[in-house]
Amino acid sequence: MAKIGVFICHCGENIGAKVDCSRLAEALGEHPGVAVSVEYKYFCSDPGQESVKKAIRDNNLTGVVVAACSPRMHEATFRKACAEAGLNPYQCEIANIREQCSWVHTDKDMATEKAMDITRSMVEKVKRNNNLQPIEVPVTRRALVIGGGIAGIQAALDIANAGQEVVLVEREPSLGGHMAQLSETFPTLDCSQCIMTPRMVEAAQHPNIRLLTYAEIESVDGYIGNFKVKVRMKSRCVDMNSCTGCGDCITKCPLKKIPSEFDCGLGKRTAIYTPFAQSVPNKPVIDKANCIYFKNGKCKICTKSCQFNSINFEMQDEFIELEIGAIVVATGFQVQNNAQYGEYGYGKYPDVINGLQFERLASASGPTAGKILRPSDGKEPQTVVFIQCAGSRDPSKGVRYCSKICCMYTAKHAMLYAHKVHDGKTHIFYMDIRAAGKGYDEFSRRAIEEDEASYVRGRVSKVWQENGKLMVRGVDTLLGKPVEIAADMVVLATTMIPQPDAKEFAKTIGIGYDEYGFYNEAHLKLRPVESSTAGIFLAGACQSPKDIPDSVAQASASASKVLALFSKDKLEREPVIAINNEATCAGCWGCVLACPYNAIEKKDILDRSGRLIKRVAFVNPGLCQGCGTCVTFCRSNSIDLAGFTEKQIFAEVMGL
Amino acid sequence: MITQEQYRTRVKELLSSGTVKMVIGYKPGSTPDRRRPLFIRTAEEANRLVLDSACITNLSGYLVTEGLLSDEKKVAIFLRPEGIRSINILAAESQLNADQIIILGFDSTGSVVKTLDGTHAGDFSELLGSIKQNSPVKPSEVLFEQVEQMTPAERFAFWQEEFSRCIKCYACRQACPMCYCRRCIVDSNQPQWVNTSSHTLGNFEWNIVRAFHLAGRCVECGNCGRACPVNIPLRLINRRMAQEVIEAFDHFPGLNQTQEPVLASFKKDDSETFIL
Ligand SMILES: Cc1cc2nc3c(=O)[nH]c(=O)nc-3n(C[C@H](O)[C@H](O)[C@H](O)COP(=O)(O)OP(=O)(O)OC[C@H]3O[C@@H](n4cnc5c(N)ncnc54)[C@H](O)[C@@H]3O)c2cc1C
Ligand code: SF4
Ligand code: SF4
Ligand code: SF4
Ligand code: SF4
């Protein structure tokens, strides 16, 4: 016979203020099958848990219902306590009377009634709970890091330095991401390439890191500890083994005017190219969209110039299958295209550029070798206007969020400009200066006090060209006056937005994303580097706009999560898995198709002489994640989910 | 009646040559405008076959009767385009091997019956494709439009009234070629999800479950509605679900044997409008 213990928690005032816990305990005490019904201020506390254990032992309870907060909070806590008292942990259920009741209601009487319903419904479920045993699954100790920007490189190095294997996949021909494009970095103004390139080289040469560049993730199957990943190695048309990176082909390629992506269109490149001089690996690829041979079948000049016979126009994409235990997603961001702000003239006037383009102008490795020269005529601009929040915090046309790094990089740009053009003038239109971070406010103060950046608090309404100048009209809200500035160059502090394919990619690997396409963490405060999919972690700007220190910190945090996972041989998994009734299964294979984890196989049922009687679905317990999709799909109602069986759920519903 | 004669000759050939072990067709029914299914195994019986515009039942459900096809021998069957679509769905859901089915296809306009070219389900893909282009398959009817125009409250009242006659005989299920499960959800009583008693709740439960289980699979053959002893206009529900599925997923069931069941498959470009 069922002997259920009901433990009603006040959660301090959280529940106690809105639910009459004494009444609740009394009412549940009268419910059939309930042997104990008690209340307490904090059951999750040590004495609270002890009292639950004691009640189990003293009364030989067969099941426990803790009426408290969300099971996400403390289900594990109470199941552990039950196990310690000798009860199968899966005989413990949580009735959520906080998030689903006290927090959302104001009328105490009605909230109490509702809490009774919720708790009774759980008692009815627990009466039908079965003893379950956790499932053990092996862990493949190999991590996949997707994205070779600073975040991905940092995560890969941390995992590799701890002695575990890493596969680092980057879709561009070289590692580096955006950080490789930056000139100098706030708040210390050290040269980005000087701190970045050694990391890139270290990652490429690390014995524990397998680097796959110019590669894309085709598919991710499986689950934590046991992912199966297919990678497409895009054909470079250059044999990585024999190519020495001498660059003869690049010098000979007749196409020299392709806008360089790395230089944000301010510089030019050839059709066979490396994105930048310090590329890792320093071996070229052929840009098939532009290459003359791929367009009309003639040319192959590069082939002739290569002493090592490394160029192969017939090269095809190849596929690699990987067994992976954990994944770090570090796919970064892109900057928004400002052409949608017609009033700023981006795309119309060549001297209106974005922040990333300014980085290239200021970079020693950039198209102007670090001289600030404006794109239209190569002259040194004497007056530069910076417009902050170009796209950020603008619900009407841009994005609602703050891009976080633009205040800082604009201050940096003003400083870099002042250091290079000593008599130049800078004007910065801003909404607020958000400089929270170690050394950040000091940094932006320096831009104002030492490098004489003139900050104008207000928005720009229009930029137009007049007598060879860019006229900037805005408003100074502190003076309450309109301002007009004749500038030689305008720099837009463009918003960081998700990669163009961020949402699609999230679906490929099976993680969640927000309305913009930034990847969702499992819990913003308590689990900020885990995605909601077990075994997949996040690092860097793919999660939200971030600067380098934040990206690196998150990457190291992800690496530590991966290492914690790899510290065990086997993972213990919840035994919440689907079980199919072979007698009633119609073999329609709907569940096979519907299962997002490919956990369902087709099984032959044979008679004694080995003749096929019928084919039915079979759930592989190692693969099933207990999502319940198949249960909802099966028309013949053949599948049941352990821990959430139809009987349990039915009883729960009827208990309401 | 040229078609009937042609087909009788075909059937004789098929049976006497041993190409098929059985032919499923129609014979006269209890009234002049009714036809019954006929199952014949010898060429001599072929003359009992009738084929005219009154042959409207979708016979494909008989193919999945337990064991009929398990000897891997072939069976020939008279089918309208809806029936051919059912074959494709049954094949896509692994209930039969379409290679075993020889199709004697026909269709009718008014009282004129015409033959359809082809012998296997795959031969009719062009025809079925053109039906999709012209979907909805059946011309709209006044009652359907009326129900569409109703407010949700009126519509609820309408169906409550209609369903109040339902006696849970499950004739609609028995008649439907898509209802092939060995144990239907309504027969499962541990727990009893669908209430068997004939009151509003139970009636809605059954008919809504039926509608959902047929969504994206129903070919609008009308077997269910004709089987219903109390004339509940089940076709209106089928039509509505067919429209939903084509609008939401551009899915027209039964086009070919490789079509994935719409409610079990996910595509990256599926619209997410229904996810709240
Ligand atoms: C104008 C500007 C100036 C800045 N200045 C500073 C500064 O001074 N100081 C500072 O701290 N921060 C600065 N930042 C911010 C800095 O650039 C970012 O914090 C940093 O680059 C984030 O690194 P990440 O690795 O997360 O992303 P990224 O650098 O974007 O790297 C992501 C990598 O992943 C690859 N990738 C993407 N999708 C896939 C895929 N599907 N498969 C495989 N690979 C993929 C990309 O090709 C890329 O290499 C600046 C940013 C901008 C725009
Ligand atoms: S969905 Fe149900 S009936 Fe169909 S194969 Fe799966 S378990 Fe069997
Ligand atoms: S519950 Fe069903 S659909 Fe979900 S993972 Fe398990 S077998 Fe697949
Ligand atoms: S639900 Fe009715 S109309 Fe649809 S396939 Fe079944 S019997 Fe035919
Ligand atoms: S055939 Fe008609 S009466 Fe019988 S179960 Fe179906 S809808 Fe109800």
* Domain containing residue A50: CATH number: 3.40.50
Indicate which ligand has the atom closest to the C-alpha of B175.
Answer: 4
Q: Answer yes or no: do A276 and A344 share one domain.
A: no
Q: Are residues B90 and B191 in the same domain?
A: no
pLDDT attached to residue B275: 58
Please check whether residue A37 lies inside any domain of the structure: yes
Supply the ipTM of this predicted assembly.
Answer: 0.90
Nearest residue, CB atoms, B264 vs list A590, A650, A651: A590
Specify which residues A226 forms β-bridges with: A223
Quick one: CA torsion of B232, B236, B242, B247, rounded to 10 degrees? -150
DSSP, collapsed to helix, strand or coil, labels residue B165 as coil
Across A139-158, average pLDDT: 98
| Number of structural domains found in chain B | 2
Per the CB < 8 A criterion, the answer to whether A503 and A497 are in contact is: no
A557: containing domain: 142-234+317-332+499-566
Considering the domain architecture, whether residues A146 and A190 belong to the same structural domain is answered as yes
pLDDT tops 70 at residue A83:
yes
Q: Is residue B138's pLDDT more than 70? A: no
For the four alpha carbons of A637, A643, A647 and A652, in that order, the dihedral sign comes to negative
pLDDT at B274: 60
Q: Do A646 and B268 touch (CB under 8 A)?
A: no
Weakest-pLDDT range from A12-26, A37-51, B187-201: B187-201
Paired residues of A144 in beta bridges: A167, A327
Residues B61 and B93 in one domain: yes
CA distance A144 to chain B (A): 23
Please give the pLDDT value at position A574. Answer: 85
> Last residue of some domain: B134, B166, B195?
B134
- A573 domain residue, yes or no: no
Q: Based on the domain organization, do B48 and B152 belong to the same domain?
A: no
HSE (CB half, 13 Å, CA atoms) of A44?
14
Residue A625 Cα: closest atom of ligand 3: 5
The radius of gyration computed from the CA coordinates of chain B, to the nearest angstrom, equals 20
Q: Closest partner residue to B182 among A504, A586, A633, by Cβ?
A: A586
**Residue B274 belongs to a domain:** no
pLDDT over 60 at A239, yes or no: yes
| Band (B264; pLDDT cuts 50, 70, 90) | confident
Q: Are A379 and A373 in contact (CB under 8 A)?
A: yes
| Residue in the structure block whose two tokens are 């035994």 | A575
Looking at the domain assignment, is residue B185 inside a domain?
Answer: yes
Q: What is chain B's mean pLDDT, rounded?
A: 91
Q: What is the distance between the alpha carbons of residues A258 and A265, in angstroms, rounded to a whole number?
A: 9
Based on the domain organization, do A119 and A77 belong to the same domain? yes
Q: Are residues B11 and B130 in the same domain?
A: yes
Is B263 part of a structural domain of the chain? no
Atom of ligand 1 nearest to the CA of A185: 8
B146 with B127, same domain: the answer is no
Ligand 4 midpoint to CA B234 (Å): 9
**Mean of the per-residue pLDDT values for chain A?**
95
Q: In the predicted model, what is the mean pLDDT of residues A234-256?
A: 95
CA of A510: which chain B residue's CA is closest? Answer: B268
B180 with B116, same domain?
no
Domain that holds residue B165: 142-251
pLDDT cut 70: percent of chain B above it: 95
State in Å: Cα B223 to ligand 5 middle: 12
d(CA A59, CA A61): 5
Indicate if ligand 5 lies below 6 Å from the C-beta of B171: yes
Q: Can you tell me the mean pLDDT for B73-95?
A: 96
For atom 8 of ligand 4, the residue with the nearest CA is B221
The alpha carbon of residue B257 is apart from the nearest alpha carbon of chain A, in Å, by 13
Question: What is the count of structural domains for chain A?
Answer: 5
CA dihedral (B176, B181, B185, B188) positive or negative: positive
- The domain boundary residue, chosen from B134, B163, B194: B134
pLDDT greater than 60 at residue B276: no
Tell whether B8 and B28 lie within a shared domain: yes
Whether residue A615 sits in one domain with residue A526: no
Q: Give residue-wise pLDDT tens across range A353-386.
A: 999 999 999 999 999 999 999 999 999 999 999 9
Which tens digits make up the pLDDT trace of A65-77? 999 999 988 999 9
The answer to whether residue A132 sits within a structural domain is no
Bridging pattern class, strands A460-466 and A469-476: antiparallel
Which of A275, A284, A295, A286 has its CA nearest to residue A313? Answer: A286
Are B47 and B80 within one domain? Answer: yes
Report which residue type is found at B77. I
- Give burial (CB, 10 Å; 0-12/13-18/19+) of A173: buried
Buried b or exposed e, range A501-520, using 16+ CB within 10 angstroms: ebbebbeebbbebeeebbbb
> What does the pLDDT average to over B165-178?
95
Whether residue B259 lies inside any domain: the answer is no
In this predicted model, what pLDDT tens digit does every residue of A274-331 receive, in sequence order?
999 999 999 999 999 999 999 999 999 999 999 999 999 999 999 999 999 999 999 9
The strand pair at A215-223 and A226-233 is best described as: antiparallel
Q: Are A20 and A102 members of one domain? A: yes
Amino acid at A296: N
**Cβ A646–B190 below 8 Å, yes or no?**
yes
Side chain identity, residue A220: V
Give a yes or no: residue B261 inside a domain.
no
Q: In this structure, are residues A655 and A124 in contact, taking their beta carbons and an 8 Å threshold?
A: yes
Ligand 2 atom, smallest distance to A592 CA: 6
Burial letters for B16-51: b for 16+ Cβ neighbours within 10 Å, e otherwise? eeeebbbbbbbeeeeeeeebebbebeebebbeebbb
What is the pLDDT confidence band of residue A573, given thresholds at 50, 70 and 90? confident
HEC string of A479-513?
CCEEEEEEECEEEEEECEEECCCHHHHHHHHCCCE
Q: What is the mean pLDDT of residues A523-529?
A: 91
Q: Please tell me whether residues A401 and A475 are part of one structural domain.
A: yes
Q: Do A357 and A482 have their domain in common?
A: yes
Q: Confirm whether B95 is domain-assigned.
A: yes
B118 with B211, same domain: the answer is no
- The answer to whether residues A492 and A504 belong to one domain is no
The residue-averaged pLDDT of A632-655 equals: 94
| Ligand 2 in reach of A590 Cβ (< 6 A) | yes
The verdict on the CB of residue A624 being under 6 Å from ligand 3 is: yes
Please give the residue of chain B at the shortest CA–CA distance from A652.
B191
Q: Is the pTM of this model over 0.80?
A: no
Q: Is A229 exposed, middle or buried (0-12, 13-18, 19+ CB in 10 A)?
A: buried
> Band of the pLDDT at B139, cuts 50, 70, 90?
low
For residue A294, being part of any structural domain is answered with: yes
Residue A572 is assigned to a structural domain of this protein: no
State the pLDDT at residue B40: 96
Question: Do A486 and A505 belong to one domain?
Answer: no
Q: What is the pLDDT of residue A543?
A: 98
- Other C-beta atoms lying within 10 Å of the C-beta of residue A238: 24
Same structural domain, A382 and A488: yes
Q: In this complex, which of B182, B185, B268 lies closest to A504 when CB atoms are compared?
A: B268
What would you report as the CA-atom Rg of chain A, rounded to the nearest whole angstrom?
31
Counting ligand 3 atoms within 8 A of each CB, the residue from A625, A637, A641 with the most, and so the one to mutate, is A625
Domain boundary residue among A99, A127, A155? A127
Contact A647 B190 (CB under 8 A): yes
- According to DSSP, the residues that pair with A463 across neighbouring strands are A472
Q: Which of A451, A467, A497 is the last residue of a domain?
A: A497
Q: Quick one: which atom of ligand 4 is closest to the CA of B179?
A: 6
